[in-house]
């Protein structure tokens, strides 16, 4: 059964990548013609993504990168730049 959620219910939800890495929390949504267009994510200081952003406090991601919304929000790992460890692993494969 499809479970509908209110926009206000997703504000503040934690956001993780599909690899299990913490990104931050949902800060806002952009809605165009009754459809979600993008998600504004406040990046956590504990996130590995925070070091790649410089002084920025958040990111805006297109809705197509959101994989699931429930008690948490899961986004595609491809939205985040690869870490040094991941780059090394890819080189050895």
**pLDDT tens per residue, range 4-38:** 778 888 999 999 999 888 899 999 999 999 889 99
Per-domain boundaries in the chain:
7-92
Quote the CA–CA distance of 69 and 28 in Å, as a whole number: 14
CA of 84: how far to CAs of 43, 50, 55, 58, 59, in Å? 19, 14, 20, 21, 21
Judge if pTM exceeds 0.75: yes
Architecture label for domain 7-92: Roll (2.30)
For 90, which DSSP code?
Answer: H
Cβ-in-10-Å burial (0-12, 13-18, 19+) of 26 comes to buried
Quote the CA–CA distance of 9 and 84 in Å, as a whole number: 35
| Greater pLDDT, 72 or 93 | 72
- Look over the chain and give the mean of its residue pLDDT values, rounded to a whole number: 82
For 83, which DSSP code?
Answer: P
pLDDT band with cut points at 50, 70 and 90 for residue 92: low
The three-class DSSP label of residue 54 is coil
Average pLDDT of the residues in 61-67: 93
């Amino acid at each position: 059964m499809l479970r509908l959620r209110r926009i206000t219910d997703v504000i503040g939800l934690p956001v993780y990548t599909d690899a299990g890495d913490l990104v931050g929390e949902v800060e806002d949504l952009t809605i165009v013609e009754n459809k979600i267009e993008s998600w504004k994510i406040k990046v956590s200081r504990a996130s590995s993504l925070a070091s790649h952003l410089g002084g920025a406090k958040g990111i805006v991601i297109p809705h197509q990168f959101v994989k699931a919304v429930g008690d948490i929000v899961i986004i595609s790992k491809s939205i985040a730049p690869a870490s040094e460890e991941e780059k090394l692993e890819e080189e050895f494969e």
